Structure 1
Amino acid sequence: MAGERITVLVVDDAPECLAVLGELLQPHYRVLVANSGAAALRLAEAEPRPELILLDVMMPEMDGRQVFTRLRAQAATADIPVIFVTAMGDLQDELQGLEAGAVDYITKPIAPPLVLARVRIQLELKQAKDRLSDQNRWLEREVARRMSENDLTQRVAIHALARLAETRDNETGNHLLRTQGYVERLARLLQALPAYAGELTDHKIDLIARSAPLHDIGKVGVPDKILCKPGALDEDEWSIMRTHARIGAEAIAQAERDVGHSLEFLTYAKEIAEHHHERWDGAGYPDGLAETDIPLPARLMALADVFDALISRRCYKPPFSFEHARGLIAEGGGSQFDPDITHCFLDNFDDFVAIARRHADQQAERAEPQG
């Protein structure tokens, strides 16, 4: 045991007891002595902090149990092991001391070999406990680091996959970031409503927002001549275009089957990919779902996707102003869009304009709001 690096504090109001314990321990440890409870507390909080305290129980003014209580109440000294030293040999006194949290109990007159053995054991136990605590802290940091790394890897993979699909339609720019921002803001606003507080937890909102960029992943299955057509699509072309919703959901489902494991956020990704073109009135696709039969993540994306399409340049249309887009969204509330989500959007419209500007495309693809 590395003696000089280990500090032991001996507390006793009797000078002869301090002398005996000091002479016994000094060959092995750095010894600090205190002849009162107040002095003991000062030394215990000072540096170098003792790694073990031998504390006399029977002292005037502040007895050992009071000192012990004060030690445990301070964060700096709460973990220092304490051995009670007393002339009382009553079993009940010893039990009370141990139940209070002392690690051991030594009775006077002391037996030097026994004192040395008990001090050594308690210091070894403390060192083992400290090593374990250090290892636990390291493990906690490592787990946190790896979780953060896995989280970042997942986010990067999602965006990489979504942007790969986006290269098929190079006019969408930062559409992924904007719609993700809209969806998260809408979900936060909806969360504040009593009807949604239980359903939209912080965890669920995070997963919905995380999965939002995969909403149009199915467009990889749509031919370029349709996806990039500058004019209006005919009925046959629309039928093919609409398949992207099912294609996207099936691709995500197949990925889950391939790894043999279901991920919570991919459940929301499938719902968004498959149903973000459904309408509140049931006139959407691919399943013609209506109202709350449409999964909530898809209802959030439905409005977010349309708003961003309205304010962005497309091969078939110029960008609309923010105010024009706002008016069209308002007209669609209760028919195309969930009324509650529409109200959240309209009542906090400036938030969505801010998101759009924050993630504006490099090229001037949108008009600024008018009026």
Structure 2
Amino acid sequence: MKHKKWFWLLALLVVLGGLLVACGDLEEDEYYDEDEAAYYEDEEFSSEDEEFFSEDEEAYDEDEEGFYSEDEEWDKWEVMTAEDCYDDEYYDEEDQTCYLLYDCDEDPDSCEELDDEFYTLAGELIDIFLSEDYEWVEGSPDEVIIRYAIRNNELIDPELGAVTDELVEYQNDSQTHEQLWVYFANLIPADERRFISHFGFFTDGQGEVLAYVEPNIDNPNQWVMYVDIQDAQDTEELTYTLIHEYAHILSLNSTQVPFDAEAYYDENLYEEAESSCPTYFTGEGCSRPNSYINAFFETFWADIYEESLEYGDDVESFYEEYEDQFVTDYAATNPAEDIAESFTFFVMQSKPEGDTIAEEKILFFYDYPELLQLRAEIAGRAYARLRR
């Protein structure tokens, strides 16, 4: 028995020695490519290797680019579970998403911490977005592929648009419809989505308009959001655009601007309604005196609004005349687009110094505690997605 025991001990030492040699060989074969920011070997990972590396997936390092390889990349469209959350994240059971919680009322320092953690990623997103042309277009039922009602945070009752044969596959792609809705719902808190009754999809071809919103014709106090199903795979641009479109609903919903159906749907009554409005007339109606958009208009547009109308569709020339007053050229389109663009920068950038009127527009939102908290909530949700 003693001889046998020593024999097995000697055998074990031999095996361990072989493993150490093998590990040394593997380390010599590996190299690190900063462009890809991932480890590779001369041969592909085996299924056992993938299983080994998956055990460490939660050890996320913000400074490490490409934490996931192409094959292992986190699925940006997936519904999260509580197990997917990192140690500093909370789980929203209703929206099924992980997010970082910042309470600006109870812990103002946490909002400063948000600036440190989030805005490196968000700043890159802003740069990516601004490097491309952005176009706005009015929605048209002729463009709609499919539209869903929203109930209990789910898409129901699909309404099919009249589409060409080439678009039937997009109309039938319910999986992508659900994924894009979940992405939006994970970005904007549930209570802030209460004015959205429908969520739909359209396309005007690749590389054109990404999303738009419009009042629900059946219930003008509610809104419909449409996303171009062909352009929605770029999550950086999608994130920016969804926040922009949500800003329209935030600033134009019925608590801010009572909807004037007669003026909105009848061009003959529009001019009369606009001229009789003592505050800023948005097109949807006469804004309430204490609304966000009226306060924004009185602060930043009252002195230049009539001049902007003289430029008509030549927004580019108007922007060039007042370039330091707008966060983007598109913001110069009208006050509604300006407040939406400025709100998006408010969410996606750290607090500016206020050296230009464009920066003052971002600081405008800091005067509203409820918007400061909303900023923290959206940023915490966006960061949980972007950091992955």
TM-score band w.r.t. shorter chain: under 0.3
Structure whose CA Rg is larger: 1
Instruction: Pick the structure with more helix per residue.
Output: 1
With the length of structure 2 as denominator, give the TM-score of the two structures.
0.22
> Which structure dedicates a bigger proportion of its chain to strand?
2
With CA pairs under 8 Å and 6+ residues apart, which has the higher RCO, 1 or 2? 2
